[in-house]
Structure 1
């Protein structure tokens, strides 16, 4: 077959294969165009999940009558004019392919009016065939009507799913948009019935702070109740938004939203950074939930790497990965037991009206905590807390039938000096510690709590010593791929910092001379391969730390107090105080919660008090 120029209609239909995957893709492109035009209200009318009808109406700036035919031409756009514009794209759309691609696979009508125009203008396109522009009544803004999607491409139409499934994809994308743009009102109807309305009364990029409470409205009140506000800037990057506390996790990644300069994207490197930040606090197999906004100079990110603009490429991918990881790691470290919500790096505001957590000036009760190592060593804990909480020496009683000991008394009033986890009053079934607070009851899983305390102490101690290496008695030859050998040679200094002394001995071989001392008895060859894979893909590796932490976690688990171990009141109070002072003490090493709070009104409801 001889080489020939493809007709415009076929070119547009081929482009539609990249841009228009399903009705949700059409809604995305058209609504993003509306936002780029300055719309503050967008109405989305759908029929049969968007297959039969998609109508998008906005109150944006509108399109000039003589530019309507140009708007449905390939590579025609008002958003970029030069390569410099493309390298610093600030709009959601910029390719100029969406409208002609959609018009080539549907019955398409574009109507618009600007301020100052006497009337609106309408242009019809049927399967890519351009009609004549005609006057039409229209309010300020633009309306795009897309009927019978893929009617002329039956091979594509048969791949569409059931009506409910296609509608679900549209609703999910609109949920993502609503989180990013609480300043825009979105009204959705399906088959003639209103189905969703997001009020536009917030500020761009500040989800959850509008009076309509976009965070709870989109992801549910449970997410909003467990959300931690993140706000941090550095190295020309800014990260803000919300992350869910570890006790709120998901079976799937269905509540993970990432925005780069306002654009909703998927990025493996950032997702890996978030996963690593949660690695020490999340139950195995569970997924974190978050809504995060990353902002940086547009010239440092390439948004033109994916036809549907779902992905971006960072110029400093390693820096971005490390920035996200460190920010979230530090925020999650502040999830101490007793705190309603953690304070992240930088300014922080709790969601749902919960009290702020650690950080800032010490609460007044902290000044009265004895400056001693309260590590549940019985003698230390008893002497310290006997002095602080005990009644006069004459008030003694047997403890567990093992002789006499002081009977601690609660302070006469529960005021601002009451610590977050209150004061211990009893032990339940040798498993749980019960503590009274000013507003209710705290229940603590003593083994889980002590396990986390011990684990954090082991990590801190090991970090203080630095990473020790152990030379191998006989250097070990490791067969690798050529790419792995290249990484090992290039990252020799990084590997040395991680405890591996490695040299290249051939195109596909390495010589391993020393390994991290703490992990010397494990499969160091497999660990080295994993580290090389991380360095190749993410520019850094946290596997050494993860493997070390797993070993220290096991040690902490074996060293933690066991069920049916009877504790004295001072020992219980020592445990509570250490929980309040220990990072990540809201959950054990395996991600299980270590404590629960029951408010007095909640307990009153158990017994129908006040009814």
Structure 2
């Protein structure tokens, strides 16, 4: 068969195979065009999950009459004019392929009116065949109508799923857009009935500072109530948004949203950085939830690497990975036990006295458990609490258990005067339940602590700090080991020799497919260092960096902390319990144990009142 140019209609249909996967792809391309045109409101009308009808109406700038035909021709766009424009593109669309591709596989109508035009012009395309433009009444803006998607490509139409499934894909993409653009109103109808509406009340949202309203209506109260605000800027990068606290985790990655310069994308390197940040605070098999916006110089990111623009490529991938990891790692470090209880106390309504008048909130230290009265309200531990701390921790996190301190026989000194109205976030211990849980009274109710899980996290964080302080030590091998690797792995090892040295490996390339290993991280010398080295090389090749050594070290320290933590049925004195509570309040990530299990729970008085139907 001789070489010959393809007909334009066939070329557009081939392009449609890349751009138009399903009705959601059409909605994405058309709504993005509306946003690029400056729309503040977009109406999306659908029938049969978009297979029968997709109508997108916007109030944007419109298309001049003499450009309508160009709008449905391939590689015609108003968004770029040169290679410089492409390298720094800031619009959502730029390829100039969407409209002709969609029009080639549907019955397509484009109606548009610029703000200064007296009337609109309409252009109809039937399976790629373009008719002459004709006048039509229409308000300023644009309407694109796509009927009978894939009517002329039966094989493609057979791959469409059930109506409910296709509608679900559209709604999920619109949810992504709603999170990124709370300033735009989106109205959705399906089969003639209103389906969803996201209000574009930007003034109200900006006043809240955190776009809480849009966050709640898109992802629900569960995520909004458990979200941590993230905001960090460095090295020309800015990361902001929300990450869910570790106790709000998912069975799947269905609430993971990443935006690069406002564009919703998937990126394995960033996803890997997020996963690493959650490494030892998330229960096994669970997925973190997040909405993150990464801002980077457009010239440092290539958005032209995927036909549907789902992926991007960073020029400084290693820097991006490290920036995201460190930002989220630090944010999660602040998930100390008691934070929620402390916040609840700060925002709790004042108690009321007789006649509904506000009553002064005051904690009577004379009612505190014995041994906790001296200076408890102003943060000074009693001598018994200090003795309990020494007994409990044995002078070293993760060390051997020591005998509890004996109760003092001398009378307590007089209580110092203090007007401090509040209790510590985790309150003060009242009792131990079944030798497993500590029960404490807080300003707002009851705190229950799993003492083993809490002590395990405290010891683990202390061991990590101790090892971080002394630095990573290496241990030379008595006999250098020869390791057979692939040629690609050998190239990575040679190129990243300095990085490997920082991780504790002394490695040299011995041949096209072999390495010589002369030294390893001292703490991990008795493990499978060859497998660890291979994993590190895989990370360096894919992500530009690796935390495998740190993770292996942390796993070992976690085991040490677990063995050194107090066990079930170990009876603690009240000073020991309170020393543990104070340590939890001061320890990073103490809301979860080393394995991601929660270390504490909080029950408010209102919750307990409901248990017993009080006030009903």
With the length of structure 1 as denominator, give the TM-score of the two structures: 0.90
SS in 2 for 1:74: coil
Q: Which residue of 1 aligns with 2:369?
A: none
1:540 is aligned, of 523, 530, 545, to: 545
Q: Which residue of 2 aligns with 1:420?
A: 425
2:521 is aligned, of 499, 516, 520, to: 516
Query: Contact 1:201 / 1:212 at 8 angstroms: preserved in 2?
Result: no
Query: Contact 1:181 / 1:204 at 8 angstroms: preserved in 2?
Result: no
Assess, with a 3 A threshold, how the Cα gap between structure 1 residues 448 and 130 changes in structure 2: closer, same or farther.
Answer: same
- Alignment of 1:368 with 2:379, yes or no, is yes
With the length of structure 2 as denominator, give the TM-score of the two structures: 0.89
Structure 2: distance between partners of 1:382 and 1:98:
65
Structure 2: distance between partners of 1:56 and 1:340:
44
Q: Which residue of 2 aligns with 1:443?
A: 448
Q: How many residues align?
A: 581
- Alignment of 1:110 with 2:115, yes or no, is no
Structure 1: distance between partners of 2:156 and 2:394:
77
Structure 1: distance between partners of 2:483 and 2:537:
12
Structure 2: distance between partners of 1:304 and 1:541:
27
Q: Which residue of 1 aligns with 2:327?
A: 327
- Alignment of 1:565 with 2:570, yes or no, is yes
SS in 2 for 1:89: coil
| Aligned pairs for 1:479-494 within 5 A | 479-494=484-499
Structure 1: distance between partners of 2:155 and 2:415:
75
Assess, with a 3 A threshold, how the Cα gap between structure 1 residues 514 and 310 changes in structure 2: closer, same or farther.
Answer: same
Q: Which residue of 1 aligns with 2:595?
A: 590
Assess, with a 3 A threshold, how the Cα gap between structure 1 residues 53 and 209 changes in structure 2: closer, same or farther.
Answer: farther
The CA deviation at 1:61 is 0.8
| Aligned pairs for 1:180-579 within 5 A | 180-202=180-202, 209=209, 213-340=213-340, 368-370=379-381, 379=390, 415-579=420-584
- Alignment of 1:129 with 2:129, yes or no, is yes
Structure 2: distance between partners of 1:227 and 1:211:
12
Structure 2: distance between partners of 1:478 and 1:65:
69
The CA deviation at 1:244 is 0.3
Structure 1: distance between partners of 2:29 and 2:393:
67
Q: Structure 2 stretches of 5 or more lacking a match? A: 349-374, 396-402
The CA deviation at 1:411 is 10
The CA deviation at 1:378 is 5.3
Query: Contact 1:335 / 1:341 at 8 angstroms: preserved in 2?
Result: no
Structure 2: distance between partners of 1:78 and 1:90:
13
Q: Which residue of 2 aligns with 1:13?
A: 13
The CA deviation at 1:340 is 2.1
Query: Contact 1:261 / 1:298 at 8 angstroms: preserved in 2?
Result: yes
Assess, with a 3 A threshold, how the Cα gap between structure 1 residues 6 and 416 changes in structure 2: closer, same or farther.
Answer: farther
Moved more, 498-507 or 451-460: 498-507
Q: Which residue of 2 aligns with 1:142?
A: 142
Q: Structure 1 stretches of 5 or more lacking a match? A: 343-349, 356-363, 385-398
The CA deviation at 1:368 is 2.4
SS in 1 for 2:248: coil
SS in 2 for 1:219: helix
The CA deviation at 1:481 is 0.8
The CA deviation at 1:248 is 0.6
Query: Contact 2:212 / 2:224 at 8 angstroms: preserved in 1?
Result: no
SS in 2 for 1:541: coil
The CA deviation at 1:483 is 1.1
- Alignment of 1:80 with 2:91, yes or no, is no
Instruction: Give per-residue Cα distances to partners, 1:168-221, cap 9 Å, x unaligned.
Output: 100000000000000001010111111100000137997985777111111110
Q: Which residue of 2 aligns with 1:161?
A: 161
Aligned-residue Cα RMSD (Å) equals: 3.0
SS in 1 for 2:94: coil
The CA deviation at 1:3 is 0.8
Query: Contact 1:206 / 1:241 at 8 angstroms: preserved in 2?
Result: no
Structure 1: distance between partners of 2:194 and 2:450:
47
Query: Contact 2:341 / 2:426 at 8 angstroms: preserved in 1?
Result: no
Assess, with a 3 A threshold, how the Cα gap between structure 1 residues 119 and 495 changes in structure 2: closer, same or farther.
Answer: same
Query: Contact 1:54 / 1:146 at 8 angstroms: preserved in 2?
Result: yes
Structure 2: distance between partners of 1:574 and 1:225:
30
Moved more, 415-424 or 124-133: 415-424
Query: Contact 2:385 / 2:578 at 8 angstroms: preserved in 1?
Result: no
The CA deviation at 1:608 is 1.5
Assess, with a 3 A threshold, how the Cα gap between structure 1 residues 230 and 382 changes in structure 2: closer, same or farther.
Answer: closer
Q: Which residue of 2 aligns with 1:396?
A: none
Structure 2: distance between partners of 1:76 and 1:136:
24
Query: Contact 2:259 / 2:294 at 8 angstroms: preserved in 1?
Result: yes
Instruction: Give per-residue Cα distances to partners, 1:477-506, cap 9 Å, x unaligned.
Output: 100111111111111111111111111111
Structure 2: distance between partners of 1:54 and 1:367:
65
Structure 1: distance between partners of 2:225 and 2:166:
30
The CA deviation at 1:253 is 0.6
Instruction: Give per-residue Cα distances to partners, 1:283-332, cap 9 Å, x unaligned.
Output: 11111000000001111111111110001111111100000000000000
Structure 1: distance between partners of 2:530 and 2:454:
35
Query: Contact 1:182 / 1:214 at 8 angstroms: preserved in 2?
Result: yes
SS in 1 for 2:339: coil
Moved more, 488-497 or 372-381: 372-381
Moved >2 Å (runs of 4+): 202-212, 364-384, 402-417
